[in-house]
Chain A
Amino acid sequence: MSAAAAVAAPPVAIAAPSAWKRATRSGGLAIGLVLVVAMALIALLAPWISPYDPDAQDVIMKLEPPSAEHWFGTDAFGRDVLSRVIWGSRVSLFVGTVATLAGVLIGTIIGIISGYYGGIVDKLITAATDVLLSFPQLIMGLILVAVLGPTLFNLILAITITAVPAFIRVARGSTLAMKERDFIDACRALGFGDLRIMFLHVMPNIMDEVVVMGSLWLAAAIRTESTLAFIGLGVPPPTATWGGIIREGFDNLLDAPWLSVFPSLAILAVMIALNLVGDGLRDATDPRTPQ
């Protein structure tokens, strides 16, 4: 036996860094998550943390610049902009979240069915998906809200319909890849039903991609809601929404820029936070991402 062999080999760390380590390494995911949680808390606690009633008008105090009393200033009706931005986050986050969740749920189920069964079912679903995806998201939302009327429910419905085809496509693609794996054949050989295979074996394995996509789509949904509100197709006034506040501020943009600037910053912060979360999750779930 050679001398070299007699020396015990030092333990070599060969394990790939865990998903959590990969996700937190860049710090983006952590910052994004903190921001998202903070926004969600602000929205949930709006009745307690907003300094004023968002709809209370005060004609004497109209178009006040930011001050110690009104941090974000006041609008043309003397309403406190900070309070309106806080209350506006409720509508934006609620519409975005509900629409995205509905889109994820419906899209994933249809996508799995499409990918799993293949054949004519798949052809039809894919064709319908392609048609829906050919409309730009905003145009689609615009048409739907214009036709259905600007209510909270219709807004959510319109954004959900724009989200569904995107999730069908992601879920279908991942399902096709999963179907190539032997464990799906093993499930069939064990006599499992199609529903069991699709929702207990395929679905858990494709949720990585769907969740990453979901966090990026949440940002898109909030943006769409704000845009629709900005062009007057959002939840009708006087309910405060970010897009609505920006639009109201446009009338006095040169005299009182704070009206539009602060809600814009709020949208910007949500976009950055959600994109950080989405990118972080994608890095965490894709081991091939360069470190």
Chain B
Amino acid sequence: MSARPAAAPLLVVRDLAKTFKAKRGWPVPKTVSVRAIDRVSFTVERGEALGIVGESGCGKSTVARACLRLIAPDAGEVRFDGLDVVAAGPTELRGLRRRLQIVFQDPASALDPRQRIADALGEPIRVHGIAKGREVERAVERLLDEVGLPPSAARRYPHEFSGGQRQRIGIARALALGPDLIFADEPVSALDVSVQAQILVLLDQLRLRRRLAFVFISHDLGVVRHFCQRVLVMYLGRIVEEGPVPAIFEEPLHPYTRLLKASSPVPDPEQAVAMNLQEGEPPSPVNPPPGCHFHPRCPFVMERCRVTAPPLTEVAPGRRVACHLFE
């Protein structure tokens, strides 16, 4: 892939799929398979923040973990800057680890409780041979400064910090190797609203200053709208809609995106929460409905929705939607 055009996307994901299998039942165990992600394709440009939204259990986090090869995908292709992530050997993978990082949802579980911050941030720098000795200390100080923490934080343990501060440390650790792309898996949903805003501002500054790309996974439309340039909407392991912000929120096309928008709270006491579109639980991913996964909840359901799954098709420049209404 040497003759790659300069404007090639940073990350290309094609037909990524992962099915989790578990044996359940007694006395005769049955294999239960959960199709966590079902042929998901998307791209991320350099310096871009791409949002992935959807209900819990729709496969958002699995996408992030499969792209980072924290779990092995069953099928599909992940190319980062032209390099094949899924097939990378140990040496190649080590190189990729420096450029692809992740920030976790729960900052309490994301840090090793027995490690001082100086080591939590310094260890990756040492392991990858980026700096040695005193230089590591200085690098740690710079990282702490970059995420708005004092140098004295280095001597302390994770439990001595608040949730927001711990998330800053988690971000600093993700920055330690100088990545190009960070998967942020619900990075603010475990935090207070006021702290959420601070963390989002920090991430946005980092994106601009370091020209970082983000894949920002969230169930909070307001947060995604604020932070991202483009959004994917996932439902039960499939992408149902893709489009730029704010168009996708101003004029959502897929009935599921409309449901999401209608049910996300508006910070205005005058406006009653509209939940009239459709109630109902998301169906179990163990036993997804045939055809379009959304049809049991869809107010516009047609006969063929129950039989064939609609493909993701481009309906306008940059906007793709998987719905029979728009074919």
Contacts and interface: CB of A to CB of B under 8 A. Distances in A.
Contacts of A147: none
A189 B114 contact: no
A186 B127 contact: no
Interface stretch (B103-111, B242-250, B261-269): B103-111
A204 B173 contact: no
A205 B113 contact: yes
Interface in B60-115: 65, 68, 70, 93-94, 97-98, 100-102, 104-106, 109-115
B177 interface: yes
Interface residues on A, range: 10 to 19
Contacts of A205: 112-114
A183 interface: yes
Chain B CB within 10 Å — which of A183, A187, A196, A201 has the most?
A183
Contact of B110 (A182, A191, A196, A204): A182
A201 B110 contact: no
Contacts of A191: 93-94, 97-98, 124, 127-128, 177
Interface in A156-185: 181-183, 185
Interface string A181-222: 111011111111000100001001100000000000000000
A68 to B, nearest CB: 54
Contact of A185 (B65, B98, B177): B65
A190 B70 contact: no
B104 A186 contact: yes
Given A188-B70, A189-B102, A192-B127, A183 B97 contact: no
Contacts of B105: 182
Chain B CB within 10 Å — which of A186, A189, A192 has the most?
A189
Contact of A181 (B68, B94, B109, B170): B109
Contact of B111 (A183, A190, A192): A183
Contacts of B111: 183, 186
Interface residues of B, number: 28
Interface in A88-121: none
Chain A CB within 10 Å — which of B70, B98, B106 has the most?
B70
A181 B124 CA distance: 18
Dominant secondary structure at the A interface: helix
Contacts, number: 56
Nearest to A207: B114
A204 B101 CA distance: 24
B104 A196 contact: no
A182 B158 CA distance: 14
A189 B109 CA distance: 15
Nearest to A201: B112
Interface string B172-210: 010011000000000000000000000000000000000
A189 B101 contact: yes
A45 to B, nearest CB: 36
Chain B CB within 10 Å — which of A181, A182, A190 has the most?
A190
Contacts of B170: 186
A15 B39 CA distance: 48
A134 B65 CA distance: 40
Given A188-B70, A201-B112, A205-B113, A182 B97 contact: no
B70 A185 contact: yes
A159 to B, nearest CB: 30
Interface in B97-144: 97-98, 100-102, 104-106, 109-115, 123-124, 127-128
A136 B111 CA distance: 40
Nearest to B183: A189
A75 B150 CA distance: 71
A37 B52 CA distance: 59
Interface in A196-250: 196, 201, 204-205
A189 B68 contact: yes
Contacts of B104: 182, 185-186
A201 B111 CA distance: 10
A176 B277 CA distance: 43
A189 B105 CA distance: 15
Contacts of A182: 104-106, 109-110
Nearest to A193: B127
9 contacts: A182-B109, A186-B104, A186-B111, A189-B101, A190-B97, A190-B176, A191-B93, A191-B98, A205-B112
A-B complex: 3 closest residue pairs judged by Cβ atoms: A191-B97, A182-B104, A182-B110
Interface of A: 181-183, 185-192, 196, 201, 204-205
Given A190-B124, A191-B124, 20 more contacts: A181-B109, A181-B110, A182-B105, A185-B70, A185-B102, A186-B102, A186-B104, A186-B110, A186-B111, A186-B173, A190-B97, A190-B176, A190-B177, A191-B177, A192-B124, A201-B112, A201-B115, A204-B112, A205-B112, A205-B113
